[in-house]
Amino acid sequence: MLELLTCSEMAAADGRTIAGGTPGIVLMERAGQAVAERVLARASGRLRVAVLCGPGNNGGDGYVVARLLAKSGHDVAVHALVPPDRLRGDAAEAARGWAGAVLPLEGWTADGFDVVVDAIFGAGLARDIAAPVDSVIAAVNESRAHVVAVDVPSGIDGDTGAVRGCAVEADETVTFARRKPGHLLLPGRMHCGRVHVADIGITDATVADLGVRTAANAPGLWSDMLPRPDAAGHKYKRGHLVVASGGPSRTGAARLAARAGLRAGAGLVTVASPPDAVAINAAQLTAVMVRPVDGAEGLADILGDARFNALVLGPALGVGEETRRMVEVAAAAQRHLVLDADALTSFAGNLAGLWQMVTSAVPSGVVLTPHEGEFSRLFGEAEGVAQARSKLERARAAAAASGAVVVLKGPDTVIAAPDGRAAINENAPPWLATAGTGDVLAGIIGGLMAQEMPAFAAACAGVWMHGAAAAAFGPGLIAEDLPEMLPRVWRELLELLFSTGN
């Protein structure tokens, strides 16, 4: 159930289900039923319900909801953007099932309604919302009524999560078969309230046949690739992660990443430190080791030892030629690589160099972890990025342009692979936005890759574990707290895996 369907994939699933013998009106009836159930779940007495119906099938769902709620004894008013005789197909049929009055949508006010069912626009939203719907949406958002959106809050683009002019702020959203990217991407996610997925008879096999490439990021996506504790294992079997440190006044970021890599399960972790910063690093490290490494040349020397199998390069490393050369040395030495912060910025304006470096690295892949600023410096000019309609499409275009797995960070982090797979993360709490948490993320992903977890899976798992660690700690979090929460996250993950037999 982790797949996220675009509006056109949903339409294809709908079409195939209808072709398989389930009439469209039956799907609409089930959709309306699922929405009505959500409203009824709240009812302790007679409710005053406004059902706001648009001109398409989203409105059709609304007429079904209106009929079912009225039948259950609630006081229902239908307000429609177009008169029922202008509806077509299944929506027209659904409207014929509504015996009550149909009032105009224009000028609707929230007076006295307990519940608003938003069935104005769903997957068919095609342009920005204008008058008179804009003022109706403003009235919905100002009202005290409980708002239940059908499929997506009207005004939210289901594919991109964008607000098209203005959008309903729902308390609950009932969608069908699977969630859509717009339920997870911002700002869409903030408009949905709680999202329920209703089964309307579109089978898992029908969804599987669509070849969907986008998923919500959750353990089901990568748990079978997680490194497992092995009774016969020893530390050398769990990889040796190297994290490069900046100079004497810029060492903290590498230590944060290093500790996170160790907590993520790497058998050993070494901070590769400029010689003049070794004393500072050594004074603050215990389980993590330190080694003097002087720039790209020094890195090439230590990579003569095949046991150093993964590297995190970038946190506070410095922007410029030397950092770029360190990245190239690591890639040429065929190590698993996580590139963050300064390592990314060192390739700004040099996408061809980045591509060359990535494609010379190990086939299992390179992971790039830009935040929005680093992303635009690096990929602003990349093919497909400027034209992309959403964060999801931008991350995908960047992965294709670089050949690397791209983790485009933020409250709705998108992880995209060059082969087109992508995942949207949703477990990161807002208190994760604090200095140094990005360094920790790079370390977690590096730690998983040191254990030979494939790049895309390691990136998805790392992002999820990072969010789960922050959620487990709670508000007041600082970056140092994150690695210390990983044991709890691991325990929960492993319990989940053993309980589901995976």
Ligand X SMILES: Nc1ncnc2c1ncn2[C@@H]1O[C@H](COP(=O)(O)OP(=O)(O)O)[C@@H](O)[C@H]1O
Chain residues that interact with ligand NPW, rule: CB under 6 A: 10-11, 14, 27-28, 31, 54-61, 121-129, 150-151, 176, 200
Q: Locate all alpha helices (DSSP H) within 193-292, ordered by sequence.
A: 204-209, 219-222, 252-263, 278-283
Task: Find out whether 501 is annotated in a ligand binding site.
Answer: no
Q: How far apart are CA 84 and CA 82, in angstroms?
A: 6
Residue 187 sits in the site that holds ligand X (CB under 6 A): no
What kind and span of H or E run contains 291?
A: strand 289-292
Site for K ion in 62-121 (CB under 5 A): 118
Mask for 129-158, x = binds K ion (CB under 5 A): --------------------xx---x----
* 54 binding partner (options K ion, ligand X, ligand NPW, none; Cβ < 5 to 8 Å by kind): ligand NPW
Q: How far apart are CA 98 and CA 70, in angstroms?
A: 9
Task: Find out whether 380 is annotated in a ligand binding site.
Answer: no
Task: Find out whether 410 is annotated in a ligand binding site.
Answer: yes
Residue 413 sits in the site that holds ligand X (CB under 6 A): yes
For tokens 């040191």, name the residue: 450
Q: Is 419 helix (H, G, I), strand (E, B) or coil?
A: coil
Q: Which of 7, 156, 405, 432 binds ligand X (CB under 6 A)?
A: 432
Q: How far is the CB of 121 from K ion (least distance, A)?
A: 6
For tokens 């079912």, name the residue: 68
* 93 binding partner (options ligand X, K ion, ligand NPW, none; Cβ < 5 to 8 Å by kind): none
Residue 371 sits in the site that holds ligand X (CB under 6 A): yes
* Alpha-carbon 453 to chain mean position: 20
* 9 binding partner (options K ion, ligand NPW, ligand X, none; Cβ < 5 to 8 Å by kind): none
* 410 binding partner (options ligand NPW, K ion, ligand X, none; Cβ < 5 to 8 Å by kind): ligand X
* 118 binding partner (options ligand X, ligand NPW, K ion, none; Cβ < 5 to 8 Å by kind): K ion
Task: Find out whether 373 is annotated in a ligand binding site.
Answer: no
Query: Where does 126-261 show beta strands of DSSP type E?
Result: 146-150, 172-176, 194-198, 214-216, 240-244
Q: For ligand NPW, which is the closer residue by CB, 166 or 448?
A: 166
Q: How far apart are CA 237 and CA 451, in angstroms?
A: 8
Q: CA 215, 220, 226: angle at the middle one, nearest 5?
A: 115
Q: For ligand X, which is the closer residue by CB, 93 or 439?
A: 439
Q: Which of 290, 409, 445, 457 binds ligand X (CB under 6 A)?
A: 409
How many CB atoms are located within 10 Å of the residue 413 CB? 27
Q: How far is the CB of 66 from ligand NPW (least distance, A)?
A: 14
* 430 binding partner (options ligand NPW, K ion, ligand X, none; Cβ < 5 to 8 Å by kind): ligand X
Phi-psi region of 423 (alpha: psi -120 to 50; beta: other; left: phi over 0): beta
Contact by Cβ (8 Å): 358, 324: no
Cα separation values, 75 from 69, 81, 101, Å: 8, 20, 12
Task: Find out whether 438 is annotated in a ligand binding site.
Answer: yes
Q: For ligand NPW, which is the closer residue by CB, 202 or 482?
A: 202
Q: How far apart are CA 101 and CA 138, in angstroms?
A: 24
Q: How far apart are CA 104 and CA 82, in angstroms?
A: 8
Residue 212 dihedral angles phi and psi, to the nearest 5°: -65, 135
Residue 309 sits in the site that holds K ion (CB under 5 A): no
Task: Find out whether 36 is annotated in a ligand binding site.
Answer: no
Q: How far is the CB of 157 from K ion (least distance, A)?
A: 12
Task: Find out whether 439 is annotated in a ligand binding site.
Answer: yes
The residues, any chain, with a CB within 8 Å of residue 264's CB and separated by 6 or more, are 443, 444, 445, 446, 447, 448, 462, 465, 486
Task: Find out whether 114 is annotated in a ligand binding site.
Answer: no
Residue 295 sits in the site that holds ligand X (CB under 6 A): no
Q: How far is the CB of 31 from ligand NPW (least distance, A)?
A: 4
Q: Is 408 helix (H, G, I), strand (E, B) or coil?
A: strand
Q: How far apart are CA 191 and CA 167, in angstroms?
A: 8
Q: For ligand NPW, which is the closer residue by CB, 191 or 324?
A: 191
Residues that bind K ion (rule: CB under 5 A) add up to a total of 5
Contact footprint for K ion (CB under 5 A): 118, 122, 149-150, 154
